[in-house]
């Protein structure tokens, strides 16, 4: 493990981490590059930065907002301190907040994802692909993208990744065709022509895209259907012309959040490379067949306590795998990565339960029942678990089971 040996500059921040997603995870890289500060994931009860993403639903009175945007105008706003709004993603987010009665000052507008160019090395700026195709993470396996997968001249970018790889793949492409908002943001930052594609053309779904395009001099007003042929889609891509004042955006950063004398930390990129992080506990993990509400609450509390202890000294939590020391035939590293990927692709449950096996099973023998089961609907045999980076666990949690 690699720990920092000297005090370092840190920034408490929050981002959407139920799954791994480059568009949300990129904030940590930008904080390090622009402000020489390590982002440290904070509780919502603490003062914190709320940066990149459609994460206004996470905002509260402790949030210093720097470039965040509204996902849906139909979602109620929290108790926001307008003095802590330092930058917003676009004109639509600003206007929505004002129409909701908030006295939002004139602050810089723009998604901080526009600042990613310095994160890409010259080698990764060399073009290798005719086009990068960036599905929304929920549509990665859609047959609509099969035509692009069939040719080496295209790169289908997987945004369920918290490294710089998606950004680098976009940088290596002549054109960017994106169903993902941050595929479009990264394209503009890297000077690549782009096209917004979608099979949904609905006001609520389009809100975040139109918010971003409000900061372009030549916005794309509506998405183009994904069903188009690759050549036709590429022909419709355009260089966007940004209205974002990047210097003002950087200058609006709430520097009062920076702590220059933070204790030793495992840096965020190390945390991510070790995910799922593994721990071993002395006492068995199990839940009896007909648990009481008290049993369920105690079980969830124990899981939360294990998670809190496991990530002490980490810049941010990752996926966590926990087993009793006595558990036989625990999943190997490849199995854990498969479970992590399974959880990235499905957000409808809070953890995966891994019953103790009588025989070892490699990845080929590991199966996961995707059915969502509510905690307390039955017992949990002795075993271990994998929980999400967000760490949400309660007596009402749901889970999937490794077969």
pLDDT in tens, 156-207: 999 999 999 999 999 999 999 999 999 999 999 999 999 999 988 899 999 9
Do residues 241 and 278 share a domain? no
Do residues 240 and 343 share a domain? no
pLDDT at 6: 58
Structural domains counted in the chain: 3
Return mean pLDDT, the chain.
93
- Residue 284 sits at φ, ψ, to 5 deg, of -60, 155
Do residues 173 and 281 share a domain? no
* Selection from 335, 323, 330 nearest residue 286 by Cα: 323
Instruction: Kindly state the helix (H) or strand (E) to which residue 306 belongs, with its residue range.
Output: helix 293-310
Do residues 243 and 298 share a domain? no
What's the mean pLDDT in 32-56?
96
Residue that finishes a domain, picked among 218, 247, 276: 247
Q: What gap in Å lies between CA 342 and CA 353, rounded to an integer? A: 13
Do residues 95 and 150 share a domain? no
- Rounded to two decimals, what is the model's pTM? 0.94
pLDDT at 364: 46
Cα separations in angstroms, 305 against 280, 281, 298: 13, 12, 10
Read off the tokens for 309. 């202890």
The residue whose two tokens read 């000052």 is 105
Do residues 101 and 122 share a domain? no
Residue that finishes a domain, picked among 260, 286, 306: 260
Kindly state the percentage of the chain with pLDDT values over 90: 83
Read off the tokens for 182. 């941050």
Beta pairing partners, 178: 134, 196
Do residues 33 and 87 share a domain? yes
Bridging pattern class, strands 194-196 and 173-178: parallel
Q: What gap in Å lies between CA 10 and CA 35, rounded to an integer? A: 9
Q: DSSP letter string over 57-90? A: GG--TTEEEEEE--S-TTSPP----GGGEEEES-
Do residues 177 and 232 share a domain? yes
pLDDT at 369: 80
Q: In what order do the strands lie in the sheet with 320-324?
A: 277-281, 320-324, 383-387, 351-355, 398-402, 368-374
Read off the tokens for 174. 């002549």
Half-sphere exposure of 319 (CA within 13 A, CB side): 24
Cα separations in angstroms, 329 against 125, 228, 282, 354, 359: 44, 48, 16, 11, 6
Residue that finishes a domain, picked among 217, 247, 277: 247
Q: Tell me whether residue 325 is exposed, middle or buried, using C-beta atoms within 10 angstroms of its C-beta: 0 to 12, 13 to 18, 19 or more.
A: exposed
Do residues 281 and 389 share a domain? yes
What's the mean pLDDT in 351-367?
72
Domain residue limits at 372: 268-402
What pLDDT digit, counting tens, does each position of 34-43 carry? 999 999 999 9
Cα separations in angstroms, 278 against 3, 267, 269, 373: 17, 17, 17, 24
pLDDT at 403: 72
Residue 376, in any domain of the structure: yes
Ranking 165-169, 244-248, 313-317, 329-333 by mean pLDDT, the lowest is 329-333
CATH number reported for the structural domain that contains residue 239 in this entry: 3.40.50
Do residues 162 and 177 share a domain? yes
For residue 260, what pLDDT band results from cuts at 50, 70 and 90?
confident
* Selection from 262, 388, 367 nearest residue 317 by Cα: 388
Residue 1, in any domain of the structure: no
Do residues 62 and 186 share a domain? no
Residue 4, in any domain of the structure: no
What pLDDT digit, counting tens, does each position of 91-129 carry? 999 999 999 999 999 999 999 999 999 999 999 999 999
For residue 1, what pLDDT band results from cuts at 50, 70 and 90?
very low
Given a cut of 60, whether residue 361 has pLDDT beyond it is no
Do residues 310 and 234 share a domain? no
Residue 2, in any domain of the structure: no
Residue 83, in any domain of the structure: yes
Residue 223, in any domain of the structure: yes
């Amino acid at each position: 493990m690699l720990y920092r040996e000297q005090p370092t500059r840190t920034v408490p921040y929050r981002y959407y981490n139920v799954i791994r997603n480059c568009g949300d995870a990129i904030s940590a890289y930008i904080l390090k590059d622009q402000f020489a500060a390590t982002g440290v994931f904070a509780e919502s009860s603490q003062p914190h930065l709320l940066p990149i993403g459609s994460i206004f639903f996470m905002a509260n009175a402790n949030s210093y907002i720097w470039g965040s945007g509204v996902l849906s105008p139909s979602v109620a706003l929290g108790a926001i301190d307008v003095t802590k709004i330092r930058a917003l993603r676009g004109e639509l987010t600003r206007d929505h907040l004002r129409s909701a009665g908030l006295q939002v000052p004139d602050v810089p507008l723009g998604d901080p994802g526009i600042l990613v160019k310095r994160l890409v090395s010259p080698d990764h700026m060399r073009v290798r692909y005719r086009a990068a195709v960036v599905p929304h993470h929920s549509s990665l396996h859609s047959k609509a993208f099969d035509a692009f997968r069939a040719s080496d001249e295209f790169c289908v970018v997987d945004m369920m990744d918290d490294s710089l790889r998606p950004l680098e793949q976009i940088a290596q492409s002549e054109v960017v065709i994106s169903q993902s908002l941050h595929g479009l943001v990264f394209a503009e930052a890297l000077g690549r022509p782009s096209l917004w594609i979608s099979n949904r053309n609905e006001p609520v779904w389009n809100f975040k895209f139109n918010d971003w395009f409000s900061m372009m001099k030549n916005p794309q007003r509506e998405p183009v259907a994904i069903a188009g042929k690759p050549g036709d889609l590429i022909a419709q891509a355009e260089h966007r012309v940004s209205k974002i004042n990047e210097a003002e955006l950087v200058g609006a950063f709430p520097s009062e959040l920076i702590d220059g004398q933070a204790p030793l930390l495992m840096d965020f990129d190390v945390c991510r490379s070790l995910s799922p992080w593994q721990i071993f506990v002395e006492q068995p993990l199990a839940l009896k067949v007909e648990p009481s509400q008290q049993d369920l609450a105690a079980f969830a509390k124990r899981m939360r306590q294990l998670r809190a202890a496991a990530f002490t000294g980490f810049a941010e939590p990752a996926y966590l795998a926990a087993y009793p020391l006595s558990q036989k035939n625990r999943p190997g590293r490849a199995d854990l990565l498969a479970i992590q990927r399974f959880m990235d692709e499905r957000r409808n449950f809070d953890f995966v339960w891994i019953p103790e096996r009588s025989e070892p099973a490699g990845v080929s023998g590991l199966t996961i029942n995707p059915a969502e089961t509510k905690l307390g609907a039955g017992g949990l045999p002795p075993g271990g678990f994998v929980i999400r980076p967000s760490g949400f666990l309660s007596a009402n949690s749901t889970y999937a089971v490794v077969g």
